[in-house]
Amino acid sequence: MNQVLDLVGIFVFALSGALVGVRRRLDVVGMAVLASMTALGGGILRDLILNVQPTAFSSVGYVLTPLAATVIVFFWHPQVERVMPVVNVFDAAGLGLFCAVGTEKAMDHGLSPLHAVLLGVTTAVGGGVLRDMLAGQIPTLLYDRQFYAVPAMLGSAAMAVLYILDLHGWPATLAAAVLAFGLRIAAVRFRLQAPLARGVTGQE
């Protein structure tokens, strides 16, 4: 079940990466690279920091899923753009799942709660940072206009607290993931943004 949820998250992250490739007028190879980095980059960074074999290399499905998303966007990107509100819901679910799983895995490997939270956030948003850098854009993490990193941070913190309370397994992971998911959906619904420095104004 965990692997199925993992692949769903990878798929929707890959869709967003491939769409960035279309908007940047990249060819199919560039689209595939952005899709793969968006979907797998955060998990690979996490596993390299933990000095374990990256989960992305443990199954063919982890490689084929971003490629399948690339093919879909390559042929039907106008249709994918139209259903992006639905995709964004799954993207929020992937964000919640990845931050919770990343934090739990870090705690399992003996990291402190603070470091585990940071690694959980890295798992959730690291792929997006790599995507933006490869696409020649300022990473959205640096200005969080879509209030993306904060829900991941709070979801990771919740997972760390539950772990400290000796609440492990899928119920704890699901609870932390639902928290991050709910905050992300609320941010989209109410157009929440992280604050700028005092006296600084911003535009969408």
pLDDT tens digits along 11-26: 988 998 999 999 899 9
Are 132 and 79 contacting, i.e. CB atoms less than 8 angstroms apart? no
Residue corresponding to tokens 């491939």 = 18
DSSP-assigned letter for residue 184: H
Stretch among 97-101, 131-135, 160-164, 168-172 having the lowest mean pLDDT: 168-172
DSSP-assigned letter for residue 197: P
**Torsion on CA atoms 96, 98, 102, 104, rounded to nearest 10:** 50
pLDDT of residue 202: 62
Q: Using a pLDDT cut of 70, give the percent of the chain over it.
A: 96
Stretch among 44-48, 55-59, 110-114, 140-144 having the lowest mean pLDDT: 140-144
pLDDT of residue 194: 76
Average pLDDT, stretch 76-92? 84
Domain boundaries, the chain: 2-190
For residue 190, what pLDDT band results from cuts at 50, 70 and 90? confident
The pTM is what? 0.87
**CA 88 – CA 188 distance, rounded (Å):** 9
Average pLDDT, stretch 63-84? 92
For residue 125, is pLDDT > 90? yes
pLDDT of residue 14: 92
Average pLDDT, stretch 183-203? 80
CA 126 to chain centre: 7
pLDDT tens digits along 162-179: 999 999 788 898 899 999
